[in-house]
Amino acid sequence: MNQPPSTSKRDLRRSVRHAVEIKCTWSEEHTSPIFCENLSRGGMAILSGTTLTPGMSLDVRCHHRENTPFHFLANVVYCRETGDRRYATGLRFTGLDIQQRTALRTLLEQFRQDISAQQGVILTLTPPTTACPASADLPVVRKSHLRGRRFTPHPAWVFEMDEALNPYREAIWASPLVQETSSGQLSLSQVHGWSTQFYPFVEAFPQFMATYLAKAPDAVSRAFLIDNLKVEKRHAEQWIDMALGFGVPSEDLLNPSILAEVEALTHWLWSVTSRGSFVEAVSATNYAIEGVTQGIAKLMVQGFGKYHGQQGVSLTKKAYSWMEAHARYDDLHPTEALEIMKQHATTPELQHRVKQAARRSLEYLKIALDACYHEYAEPTLAST
């Protein structure tokens, strides 16, 4: 019988869970009966005839008659036998972006107002041994990138770190620059501004990783960084294609006057990758920055079409490459980075330092985004 990990129920249930009776199904290869007993913004509990291994990842698809279907990932936290060959399993949602969080909040609010709304919900769970249904909104994972690697269960400190970092991620996704680009309301001068300001940062990102590659303490970590570097080396060129598509003059892009707040973000990453420990560097770059970028790209690329055809803007397929690649996220860099962190952050002191490194990266990124937004905003009547 599988035993739950030592993490307390208080740690696992940071969000209020609502008792529900929701029909669930396995993917077609799994036929054992299953239903959801409770649900929250942070996780869910299911009862089924299938035993699941803690740390296993599931793809959960939510179909509701009144809402657009959505999906999210969940990790098995515990699985314990209840009798009659049935198992109670706790799932914790992971990597939710702002749209997925909003969809969950909306669903729970509907349940609160009308309990009968549960009857229109179907949850479909896909274990990792089953291929996910083809869909444009699902990440495509390169088999060569996985190299047969197995991901381990999260210890309690990782859950605590993820919970602590969520407000910083959400603040970035909800920032005016990201939201207004997503809706096409950001002025073209502001779009030019962030395109220009962040180019040196994007160009330097592979150099950050090269700085701490020499510190990698094992072959797996070195292989991860080398593979990541191969992916990142194309991103600067893709950023140039995007900026030129928005009509940014090439001389502005290659010789920018960088804002202090954006420069501070770059300086922070140079500092932590050159002076910090290997695991702090991984946390600050591959886990924090790469981890939050998917949500940024998924939001911002939605508004690109509204700029096409404006003065000087011609968004070809190449201009979409950077954002679409990151929105699709066809790699597992943040997940693999977390595996490295779990392996090497073995003391409370190191665990505290990797949490701080990730938080500081998110803080500096938010400051840089806000600085670009305000610096390039068009003057209002009140300010003239």
- The confidence score (pLDDT) of residue 192 equals 95
* Cβ-Cβ contacts under 8 Å for 347 (sequence gap 6 or more): none
Nearest to 34, CA basis, from 44, 20, 49, 56: 49
- The confidence score (pLDDT) of residue 270 equals 95
- The confidence score (pLDDT) of residue 280 equals 97
Nearest to 285, CA basis, from 197, 224, 347: 224
Query: Which carries the bigger pLDDT value, residue 113 or residue 160?
Result: 160
- The confidence score (pLDDT) of residue 57 equals 75
- 172 has pLDDT over 50: yes
Mean pLDDT of 239-249: 92
CATH class belonging to 9-127: mainly beta
Mean pLDDT of 43-50: 83
Structural Rg of the chain based on CA atoms: 22
Lowest mean pLDDT among 23-27, 163-167, 207-211, 234-238: 23-27
- The confidence score (pLDDT) of residue 10 equals 39
Q: How far is CA 90 from the centre of its chain?
A: 21
- The confidence score (pLDDT) of residue 9 equals 41
Q: In whole angstroms, give the CA distance from residue 356 to residue 172.
A: 17
Query: Which carries the bigger pLDDT value, residue 287 or residue 256?
Result: 287
In this structure, is the dihedral angle defined by the CA atoms of residues 277, 201, 204 and 335, taken in order, positive or negative?
Answer: positive
- The confidence score (pLDDT) of residue 380 equals 57
Lowest mean pLDDT among 16-25, 83-92, 249-258, 293-302: 16-25
CATH 1.20.910.10 in the chain is located at 147-376
Please tell me the pTM assigned to this model: 0.65
- The confidence score (pLDDT) of residue 31 equals 56
Question: Residue 87 — pLDDT band, cuts 50, 70, 90?
Answer: confident
- The confidence score (pLDDT) of residue 348 equals 95
Q: 98-148, pLDDT tens digit by residue?
A: 777 777 888 787 777 777 777 767 777 776 433 333 333 333 333 333 444
- The confidence score (pLDDT) of residue 379 equals 73
Percent of the chain with pLDDT over 70: 81
Q: Are 24 and 14 in contact (CB under 8 A)?
A: no
Nearest to 355, CA basis, from 338, 379, 376, 335: 338
Q: In whole angstroms, give the CA distance from residue 163 to residue 40.
A: 14
Q: In whole angstroms, give the CA distance from residue 303 to residue 184.
A: 5
Q: In whole angstroms, give the CA distance from residue 14 to residue 160.
A: 10
Q: Are 287 and 334 in contact (CB under 8 A)?
A: yes
Lowest mean pLDDT among 88-92, 193-197, 296-300, 302-306: 88-92
Percent of the chain with pLDDT over 90: 36
- 359 has pLDDT over 70: yes
Q: In whole angstroms, give the CA distance from residue 110 to residue 129.
A: 33
- The confidence score (pLDDT) of residue 4 equals 39
| End-to-end Cα distance, the chain | 71
Mean pLDDT of 211-239: 86
Q: In the CATH scheme, what architecture does the domain 147-376 have?
A: Up-down Bundle (1.20)
Mean pLDDT of 305-311: 89
Q: 198-208, pLDDT tens digit by residue?
A: 999 999 998 99
CATH 2.40.10.220 in the chain is located at 9-127
Tell the residue number behind the tokens 């799932």, with chain if given. Answer: 91
Beta strands in the chain (DSSP E): 18-26, 34-39, 43-48, 57-64, 67-83, 86-94, 121-126
In the chain, % helix, strand, coil (3-state, to 5) comes to: 55, 15, 30
* Cβ-Cβ contacts under 8 Å for 311 (sequence gap 6 or more): 188, 247
Which neighbouring-strand residues pair with 89? Answer: 46, 79
* Nearest-5° Cα angle at 354, 350 to 358: 170
Task: Of 11-15, 34-38, 80-84, give the range with the top mean pLDDT.
Answer: 34-38
- The confidence score (pLDDT) of residue 71 equals 75
Query: Which carries the bigger pLDDT value, residue 82 or residue 259?
Result: 259
- 383 has pLDDT over 60: no
Lowest mean pLDDT among 23-32, 71-80, 253-262: 23-32
- 30 has pLDDT over 60: no
Q: How many CB atoms lie within 10 A of CB 108?
A: 19
- The confidence score (pLDDT) of residue 329 equals 55
Mapping DSSP to helix (H, G, I), strand (E, B) and coil, where does residue 60 land?
A: strand
